[in-house]
């Protein structure tokens, strides 16, 4: 099974040239990166090849969500790229997640529970879902584990309740990371890297806190060090 890294930088750039320029200018050679929809839809598999050629481990975050048969085919296509991990939506259901996992081979599969931009208000008022987020998310995580995928994507706030319901090898990956006092942008359920570590998140994804920083390399190094601290708190 492919290895995952503790920290991925989200390369939410509009094209490959900008993404690679950002990595080169800021001396972020070889760091693990996340390629999301914006970049992948623009550049396709070529961007993964370019990043791999430069030594970057790649997390491909295109959140597959379709009927099980289509999702399985999509994951088979994605897993033929040289990537560590890819994502599907847990809300696609257990059969979809299971077939995605079967198609992924050595590539890890993580299921997105709810986007970290989602709020209970939106769930209730726009989607007609009345259960509390803290009930829905561990439930989706248990379904994800039962389907056989390797872990879930969730906010830092949900890591401990998920860990309480799932096995010790079941991974949690958390986006929505912000440094103390930073703007949260469109994210609603944010937390600091320190809190992510304290709560037991296995992997974190950081986008704008690094890509929009004055000195992205020093913020990357700071977060990496925070994650490596092993004393509690």
The residues that touch ligand C5P, with contacts defined as CB under 6 A, are 10, 12, 36, 61, 112, 115-116, 153, 175-177, 185, 187, 205-209
CB 232 to ligand C5P: min, Å: 25
Residue closer to ligand C5P, measured from CB, 2 or 185? 185
> 188 Cβ partners below 8 Å, 6+ apart?
116, 117, 118, 119, 176
Give the end-to-end CA distance of the chain in Å, rounded to a whole number.
31
CB 148 to ligand C5P: min, Å: 20
For ligand C5P, the nearest residue by Cβ is 207
* Contact call for residues 125 and 119 (beta carbons, < 8 A): no
> Which is nearest to 10 in space by CA: 143, 156, 213, 208?
208
> What count of Cα atoms within 13 Å lies in the side-chain half-sphere of residue 36?
12
Residue closer to ligand C5P, measured from CB, 69 or 212? 212
Identified catalytic residue from 63, 94, 188, 224: 63
Residue closer to ligand C5P, measured from CB, 44 or 69? 44
Query: Beta strand pairing status for 151-153 and 33-36?
Result: unpaired
* Dist CA 156 CA 198 (whole Å): 9
CB 122 to ligand C5P: min, Å: 14
Task: State yes or no: is 63 an active-site residue.
Answer: yes
Residue closer to ligand C5P, measured from CB, 116 or 172? 116
**Which residues are known to be catalytic?**
63
């Amino acid at each position: 099974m492919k290895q995952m890294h503790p920290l991925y930088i989200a390369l939410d750039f509009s094209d490959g040239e900008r993404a690679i320029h950002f990595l080169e200018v800021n001396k972020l050679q070889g760091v693990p990166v996340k390629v999301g929809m914006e970049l992948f839809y623009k550049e396709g598999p070529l961007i993964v090849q370019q990043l791999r050629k430069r030594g970057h481990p790649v997390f491909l975050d295109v959140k597959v969500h379709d009927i099980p048969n289509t999702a399985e085919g999509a994951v088979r296509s994605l897993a033929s790229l040289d990537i560590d991990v890819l994502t599907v939506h847990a809300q696609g259901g257990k059969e979809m997640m299971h077939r995605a996992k079967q198609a992924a081979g050595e590539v890890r599969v993580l299921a997105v529970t709810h986007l970290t931009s989602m709020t209970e208000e939106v769930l209730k008022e726009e989607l007609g879902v009345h259960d509390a987020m803290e009930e829905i998310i561990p439930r989706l995580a248990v379904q994800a584990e039962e389907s056989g995928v390797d872990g879930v994507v969730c906010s830092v706030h949900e890591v401990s309740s998920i860990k309480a319901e799932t096995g010790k090898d079941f991974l949690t990956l958390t986006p929505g990371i912000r440094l103390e006092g930073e703007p949260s942008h469109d994210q609603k359920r944010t937390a600091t890297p320190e809190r992510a570590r304290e709560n037991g998140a296995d992997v974190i994804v950081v986008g704008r806190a690094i890509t929009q920083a004055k000195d992205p390399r020093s913020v990357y190094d700071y977060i990496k060090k925070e994650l490596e601290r092993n004393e509690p708190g």
